[in-house]
Amino acid sequence: MFADNAKIFIKSGKGGDGHVSFRRELYVPDGGPDGGDGGKGGDIIFEVDKGLNTLTDFRHVRKYVAQAGEEGGKKRCHGKNGQDLVIKVPEGTVIKDDETGKVIADMSGEHHREIILKGGRGGKGNMNYATATMQAPKYAQPGQESKELWVRLELKVIADVGLVGFPNVGKSTLLSRVSNARPKIANYHFTTLHPNLGVVDLDGGKGFVMADIPGLIEGASEGIGLGHAFLRHIERTRVLIHVVDAASTEGRSPVDDIKKINAELAAYNAELLARPQVIAANKMDAFFDDGSGNHPVEALKKEFEPQGIKVFSVSAVSGQGIDELLYHVYELLQTVELKPVIFEREFFPDEYMDNPQEPYTVERALDGAFEISGPRVERMLGYTNLESEKGFNFFQKFLKESGIIDKLEELGIEEGDTVRMDYLEFEYYK
């Protein structure tokens, strides 16, 4: 089964805790601290596998967790680092933060391997805290916590040329005639439920990659039907071919069809209309000229060629006009920058999770005490030993530099008032 999107949970490895121990040897009753550092947690890494062309595997396995780092040991032994978790994805996969929809990484072009979540830093063992005044520290630093995130994977087809149009206008038939692709073809709507790729070979070693984008309908840009699922694949293409049923076998106007498709493209992403377009007036083998002078190809040319959009009369069944169309598309591609469309990174998980401006709350409780809470406050208390002079000084510096002292004073705190932070409760003094 073809799948072009999936939602998964990823979690890096927690850093190993630092160790508390003291050197114990014969005739050395009071050996110094020798607790080793904890190991680093494993990273979450995404890597392109060119053998993959679908996200089906992610429909069955949705949770990916890297290995935690090991705790430090005695005799200054460093804990083993956690193993990285490498997640293989097809080329063209865009990784987004599920909550905000912002792009974390686009696995295209030169981006074949990306670290998405870094593992937690290993905690320092007590051997690192020995000083002239504190020769036997009985505390160590906990390992840094793991980071976790729900991400959405979207596979956007990478092709030079995209075939767009309403269902049943002959896109799959055209692709099968001009390339090595063998899409499913039948005379009913939505035969194509996922993009088909084909390589078009022209004389002189010329060629390009063409994608048959599933048929669009009105309202596709608003997500009606499978609108968004289809439209996302057009974003990679550099030239668009509008395939229309010029014979009006289903009673629709070819000119109206193109206007409606362009309206959906513009509503989804206005930049798409800036890309070169060509019109393939298909099914001319089924057209019957009644002599009225209302020729559909002439109507298309009159409407769109003044806009710089060339119209070709073709038949995907008989091959009529196909070569002219393909060579014109090839020439158009030479005018468009060869650099593939790659989506800019908008979201940096590690920076977001380590942000020193991470929010905290300072509020007055019903009993008159001042309560301070927030993830960063809890983490600070987790790795700070307030019983040591060094740890207490760090604690005071944290309160000042994070703006907590200023906030307390804004709320009218006075000397002797009670302050609560997680498990800690103390009286405030300047």
The string of pLDDT tens digits covering residues 127-169 is: 888 777 777 788 888 888 888 999 999 887 777 888 888 887 7
Give dist(CA 283, CA 239) in Å, integer.
21
Q: Which of 142-146, 174-178, 246-250, 321-325 has the lowest mean pLDDT?
A: 246-250
9-18, 27-36, 178-187, 318-327 — which one is most confidently predicted on average?
9-18
227-236, 238-247, 288-297, 354-363 — which one is most confidently predicted on average?
238-247
Contact call for residues 158 and 210 (beta carbons, < 8 A): no
Give dist(CA 163, CA 216) in Å, integer.
11
State mean pLDDT over 411-423. Answer: 83
72-86, 92-106, 280-294, 411-425 — which one is most confidently predicted on average?
72-86
- Structure tokens given for 197: 């790729």
Place of tokens 């008989």: 318
Which band of pLDDT confidence, cut at 50, 70 and 90, is reported for residue 46? Answer: very high
The per-residue pLDDT for 351 is 64
